[in-house]
């Protein structure tokens, strides 16, 4: 992957990154924050009934999903144990230019900065009810025995036509295996081939309304 990334504004005023080599954006150009809230918070986190939630994110990227999860957990009093995997960490020089936390309080902006400054591979407390562990690794080669049982998976990899090796039967089988019963996986992608791989892994799948600019998304649940 090219190290070149360009900061762009999306329709809701929040930033995304564009990767010219892949011709792909990190977030929807129709609204980065809007998309993340809809797919991962409203359809994922709010659908999880537990008060102590173990989250696994595929694609830490800009940390937007992690930040929105932290803000939501403070609002609703949930405790979050957040593990994220990322093969190509962003530099702090890029992170410091992103505007996701600019409209929030100083403490929230400091939390976002702390997410990106903590050491990789070690769990750190960001705020009293939120713990983050970032893993720098290739998801396609990842040793899933490192992961404890998970309640909620944010699958936020680049699209299947850009990174097909991230969307395979083998990997969805592995993700099914690390989930607790009634665990949930959410992704912006609604392609039929992805839904069928999830079903083959054992998931019950739902096609749900997508964020602005996208007709559908997928939520998959593990029922034993």
Q: What confidence tens digit (pLDDT) does each residue in 62-114 have?
A: 999 999 999 999 999 999 999 999 999 999 999 999 999 988 989 999 999 99
Is the residue at 8 inside a domain? Answer: no
Return the pLDDT at 4.
Answer: 86
Return the pLDDT at 224.
Answer: 82
Return the pLDDT at 1.
Answer: 46
Q: What confidence tens digit (pLDDT) does each residue in 20-75 have?
A: 998 999 999 999 999 999 999 999 999 999 999 999 999 999 999 999 999 999 99
Nearest-angstrom CA–CA distance, 176 and 106:
38
Nearest-angstrom CA–CA distance, 129 and 78:
7
> Could you tell me the CA-to-CA distances from 89 to 15, 69, 93, 179 in Å, in that order?
17, 19, 12, 25
What is the domain count for the chain? 1
Is the residue at 26 inside a domain? Answer: no
Strand partners, 54: 81
Candidates 54, 85, 51; CA nearest to 155 is 85
Is the residue at 23 inside a domain? Answer: no
pTM: 0.96
Whichever domain contains 144, its CATH number is 3.40.50.150
Is the residue at 37 inside a domain? Answer: yes
Return the pLDDT at 35.
Answer: 97
Q: What confidence tens digit (pLDDT) does each residue in 180-190 have?
A: 999 999 999 99
Nearest-angstrom CA–CA distance, 46 and 137:
28
Return the pLDDT at 2.
Answer: 46
Whole domain around residue 127: which residue ranges? Answer: 31-221
Nearest-angstrom CA–CA distance, 175 and 200:
12
> Are 71 and 37 in contact, with CB atoms under 8 Å apart?
no
Is the residue at 13 inside a domain? Answer: no
Is the residue at 20 inside a domain? Answer: no
Is the residue at 18 inside a domain? Answer: no
């Amino acid at each position: 992957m090219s190290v070149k990334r360009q900061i762009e504004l999306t329709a809701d005023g929040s930033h995304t990154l564009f990767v010219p080599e892949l011709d792909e954006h990190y977030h929807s150009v129709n609204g980065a924050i809007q998309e993340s809230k809809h797919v991962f918070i409203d359809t994922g986190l709010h659908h999880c009934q537990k008060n102590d939630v173990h989250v696994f994110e595929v694609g830490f990227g800009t940390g937007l999903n992690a930040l929105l999860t932290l803000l939501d957990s403070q609002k609703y009093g949930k405790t979050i144990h957040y593990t994220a995997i990322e093969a190509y960490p962003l530099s702090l020089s890029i992170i410091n230019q992103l505007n996701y936390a600019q409209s929030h309080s100083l403490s929230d902006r400091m939390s976002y900065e702390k997410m990106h400054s903590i050491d990789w591979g070690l769990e750190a407390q960001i705020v009293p009810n939120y713990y983050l562990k970032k893993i720098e690794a290739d998801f396609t080669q990842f040793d899933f025995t490192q992961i404890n049982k998970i309640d909620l998976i944010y699958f936020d990899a680049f699209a299947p036509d850009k990174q097909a090796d991230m969307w395979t039967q083998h990997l969805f089988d592995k993700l099914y295996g690390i989930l607790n019963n009634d665990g949930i996986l959410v992704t912006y992608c609604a392609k039929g081939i992805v839904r069928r791989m999830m079903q083959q892994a054992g998931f019950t799948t739902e096609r749900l309304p997508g964020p602005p600019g996208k007709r559908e998304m997928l939520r998959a649940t593990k029922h034993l």
